Amino acid sequence: MKVLVAVKRVIDYNVKIRVKPDGSDVDLTNVKMAMNPFCEIAVEEAVRLKEQGVATEVVAVTVGPKAAQEQLRTALALGADRAIHVESDERVESLGAAKALAKVVEKEAPQLVILGKQAIDSDNNQTGQMLAALTGMPQGTFASAVEVEGETLKVVREIDGGLQTVALKLPAVVTTDLRLNEPRYAKLPDIMKAKKKPLDVLTPAELGVEVASGLTLVKVEPPAERQGGVKVGSVDELVDKLKNEAKVIA
């Protein structure tokens, strides 16, 4: 079984985001970039399926600038067998990424496609669902457990009311939630081996898709700074402040 895993290049989650002085975008100057944390979970799940003997090949794919090959090499170091880079310097939104991935799915014919449920930069939670719609595959989103049984994939989903188990007929699309697994760290020997693993570069034009965004980024601004809290000495003082200062009660 071939497993295709989509990954995305984002600002490292430990980095404090800075906005450009003119408010035109996020400042990426000398900023550490990394693989999206939910994508790390997706890669880990695919590698575990291979270690269990369920998957025979794990293919990592990304849509983005040339620098995104760094994240593909990370996926290869974590256990992916080869990688595909759909190179584009355009600002790619969810639909553009889904269209490109759909063409890669058509080309590679995987039995399972795994994506992170969302990226920590745009936070849209859209690409996996759009990909499922474009390919006509069944989907299991927000997965906290995945089990392959023959031609059927059982996915335990995290929903507002608890857990829901769905059975999907392969091929299928799965998006990962936080509790699916804990990603491993890449070992130095694996990082060195990853440099020799195959990485194919394609363009959206070669795939016959347009990934440029139809949206215009108007303005980016940081959230308003929170005011410091105060301690009150009694319930009466609390009620007074809520009524007369915060004006949240009548």
Mean pLDDT, range 49-75, rounded to an integer: 97
Strands 57-64 and 82-87: parallel
Q: How far, in Å, CA of 58 to CA of 113, rounded? A: 10
At residue 217, does pLDDT exceed 90?
Answer: no
* Lowest mean per-residue pLDDT among 17-21, 48-52, 223-227, 235-239: 223-227
Cis preceding-peptide flag for 171 (omega within 30 of 0): yes
At residue 250, does pLDDT exceed 80?
Answer: no
Q: How far, in Å, CA of 2 to CA of 50, rounded? A: 9
At 77, the pLDDT band (50, 70, 90 cuts) reads very high
Q: Under a CB-based contact definition with an 8 Å cutoff, are residues 26 and 34 in contact? A: no
At 245, the pLDDT band (50, 70, 90 cuts) reads confident
**2-244 belongs to which homologous superfamily?**
HUPs (3.40.50.620)
Three-state helix/strand/coil letters over the chain: CEEEEECCEEECCCCCCCECCCCCCECCCCCCEEECHHHHHHHHHHHHHHHCCCCCEEEEEEEECHHHHHHHHHHHHHCCCEEEEEECCCCECHHHHHHHHHHHHHHHCCCEEEEECCCCCCCCCCHHHHHHHHHCCCEEEEEEEEEEECCEEEEEEEECCEEEEEEEECCEEEEECHHHCCCCCCCHHHHHHHCCCCEEEECHHHHCCCCECCCCCCCCCCCCCCCCCCCCCCHHHHHHHHHHCCCCCC
Backbone angles phi, psi at 162, to 5 degrees: 140, -125
At residue 158, does pLDDT exceed 80?
Answer: yes
> What are the residue boundaries of the structural domains of the chain, listed by start?
2-244
Mean pLDDT, range 110-120, rounded to an integer: 97
The count of residues in the chain is: 250
> Given this model, what pLDDT does residue 213 score?
84
Compute how many other C-beta atoms are within 10 angstroms of the C-beta atom of residue 17.
13
Predicted confidence (pLDDT) per residue in 159-180, tens digit: 988 999 999 999 999 999 999 9
134, 176, 190, 200, 224 from 1: Cα distances, Å: 21, 19, 23, 20, 49
Q: How far, in Å, CA of 3 to CA of 83, rounded? A: 12
Q: How far, in Å, CA of 39 to CA of 21, rounded? A: 31
pTM for the model: 0.88
Q: How far, in Å, CA of 153 to CA of 53, rounded? A: 15
